[in-house]
Structure 1
């Protein structure tokens, strides 16, 4: 697994430049989540529902425990989210084949449709931003994001990225 590069060429940034980067991240995140938030608001769902749907789509059959690790939320919080998604017919929770205590999660047809709608909106925003920024900025942006992840988060990210490529 590749590690994030850094350290050879020290980069000096002022506190003001770092503050501007932090604020840009806050506003970019608002923009990135705005379209899915609008789609989900009419369904009484929030970002936790979106994240669960996203990662169930990325790894069909994932277990509840794996989803807990990826999302970094409490079991109680995830159970609330999953209960509504199952009750509303977006997620199917199946008993594990090897371990009957496990629950494997799959999107239903309606769940796949919703996930596609949410992802299409975010892909359109990312595609437009990447076109404006150019290929070098795209690569640099990914490097910055990966460098901001803790080691365990980065490991999970690479695992998800590499298994579904």
Structure 2
């Protein structure tokens, strides 16, 4: 059973154009908090945080991705990535392999342990997504996908869509 939608949110599309959608901003915040909170509790057992989760997620989804590709996706500094990646490698969740064509490249792969953890975290988040989509009703997945795509910077949308097409 889904929670009722507060009247102030239902009426937002009719609100004056100068009104700020605080309710939606806050709903987005709370949804994100709970979406990442499930994995946060498991990651804490390993001494990991959200940065570890993001790296592990994308490395598990795209075996063989380069550090440059990961930096492009995460939009973080090389220094930030290096710290997190070092911890994931040292604890046996990710391994770096030398590129076959370019020996300077480091290709990233989740180990069996890393894949297991990444999938465990994704399953938690998938359950939350499925519950929300079920509550939203038929056709909600397509609407939510369009909405989330609209939240992405227009200049980055094409790259994100290409990434998603390659992750299938």
Query: When the two structures are superposed, what TM-score results if normalisation uses the length of structure 2?
Result: 0.87
Verify the 8 A CA contact 1:89 1:110 in the aligned structure 2.
yes
From 135, 158, 161, the counterpart of 2:161: 158
1:144 positional shift: 1.3
SS of aligned partner of 1:161: helix
Quote the Cα distance in structure 1 between the aligned partners of 2:166 and 2:138: 24
Q: Deviations over 1:5-48 (max 9, x none)?
A: xxxxxx65445561111111000000100110000011110000
5+ unaligned residues in a row in structure 2: which ranges? Answer: 1-12
Q: What residue ranges of structure 1 are gaps of 5+ in the alignment?
A: 1-10
Q: Report the equivalent of 2:37.
A: 34
Which of 58, 61, 75 is the equivalent residue of 1:58? 61
Cα distance in structure 2, aligned partners of 1:146 and 1:31: 20
The residue number in structure 2 matching 1:43 is 46
Task: Please report the RMSD computed on the Cα atoms of aligned residues, expressed in angstroms.
Answer: 1.5
CA shift, 1:152, in A, is: 3.9
| More displaced 10-residue stretch of structure 1: 44-53 or 146-155 | 146-155
Q: 2:135 aligns with which of 132, 136, 155?
A: 132
SS at match of 2:100: coil
How many residue pairs were aligned? 155
* Structure 1 position 139, deviation (Å): 1.9
Q: Which structure is higher in RCO with an 8 Å CA cutoff and minimum separation 6?
A: 1
TM-score, normalization by structure 1: 0.88
Whole-angstrom distance in 1 between the partners of 2:155 and 2:123: 28
Against the structure 1 CA distance between its residues 135 and 160, is the aligned structure 2 distance closer, same or farther, given a 3 Å change threshold? Answer: farther
Q: How does 1:1-165 map to 2 (within 5 A)?
A: 13-14=15-16, 18-165=21-168
CA distance in 2, matches of 1:62, 1:112: 15
